Amino acid sequence: MLKRCIGMAATAAALVATGSVTTSSVAAPAVECDGVLSLGDAPKTRVIVPASASCTIVDSTIKSLRALPGAVDVKVFDTEVTRNLMVRGATGTVHIGPEDCKFDPVVGNNLVVRNSHNVLICLMSVDNNITVRNNDGRITVRDSSAGNNIKVNRNLAYDPDASDPNTDRAAKIRILRNLADNHIVARGNDSSRVVAARGNTPEALIA
């Protein structure tokens, strides 16, 4: 059953009504997501994915998303993030971009996925950096653009899923058809992992 994530806006409103705080001092509500979240146009809303939660965000405009260590699946489909999108320590799958990869959502600052498992970043437009670091599952960054750098660095040896039919193929790090204003780099990844990079502008630096 799909669960809509609910924030703390009512509490903030009650404080304002009782005079406990002034309107200017009330921060935009943080929304905890464990299930499916569709906020529509909510550019001041911050979304948090707690440990042990799985969150899918669809068809929304939000300010930021932060997945805490121990979150399971984090999926962001057809959603614009006006500031930062940060995932650290997810244990399941991180999929950022349209579900069917037909058009490109936007992240207004940085997109960072680190210390997680499977990572798929597809058809994203990011104003600053795309960073994929210290992950141990399948890794693909494709058909995306960054206003600064794309960095796929220091990822770990591949930890296969039970369903993987071909571990060698699944272990490849794929950096495909991306565009960055400065650099695209893949450095310090575990020596057991092959980096497949093609069609990128500028050409990916692999070390």
- The structural domains of the chain, with segments of one domain joined by +, span 31-206
SS3 171: helix
pLDDT higher for 34 or 24? 34
| pLDDT surpasses 70 at 25 | no
Peptide bond into 43 cis (omega under 30): no
In the prediction, which pLDDT does 105 show? 63
- 17 φ/ψ sector (left φ>0, alpha ψ -120 to 50, else beta): alpha
Express each pLDDT in 81-124 by its tens digit. 999 999 999 999 898 887 765 445 678 899 999 999 999 999 89
Q: Residue holding tokens 């940060």?
A: 86
Q: Which of 52, 146, 48, 131 has the alpha carbon at shortest distance from 90?
A: 52
In contact, 126 and 145? CB cutoff 8 Å: yes
Q: How far apart are CA 142 and CA 136, in angstroms?
A: 18
| pLDDT surpasses 60 at 181 | yes
Q: Which of 34, 50, 40, 44 has the alpha carbon at shortest distance from 12?
A: 44
| pLDDT surpasses 60 at 63 | yes
Residue 96 identity (one-letter amino acid):
I
pLDDT higher for 20 or 76? 76
In the prediction, which pLDDT does 80 show? 92
SS3 6: coil
Phi and psi at 30, nearest 5°, equal -90, 135
Q: Which of 54, 64, 133 has the alpha carbon at shortest distance from 95?
A: 54
Count of Cβ atoms closer than 10 Å to residue 71 Cβ: 26
Q: Summarize the confidence of residues 195-207 as an average pLDDT.
A: 96
Q: Where residue 162 falls among pLDDT bands split at 50, 70, 90?
A: confident
In the prediction, which pLDDT does 28 show? 66
Q: Where residue 27 falls among pLDDT bands split at 50, 70, 90?
A: low
Q: Which of 180, 133, 182 has the alpha carbon at shortest distance from 155?
A: 133
Q: Which H/E stretch holds residue 183?
A: strand 183-186
60-62 vs 93-96, strand pairing mode: unpaired
Task: Quote the tokens at residue 169.
Answer: 């193929």
Least confident segment among 24-38, 118-132, 161-175: 24-38
In the prediction, which pLDDT does 78 show? 87
In the prediction, which pLDDT does 38 show? 95
| pLDDT surpasses 60 at 14 | no
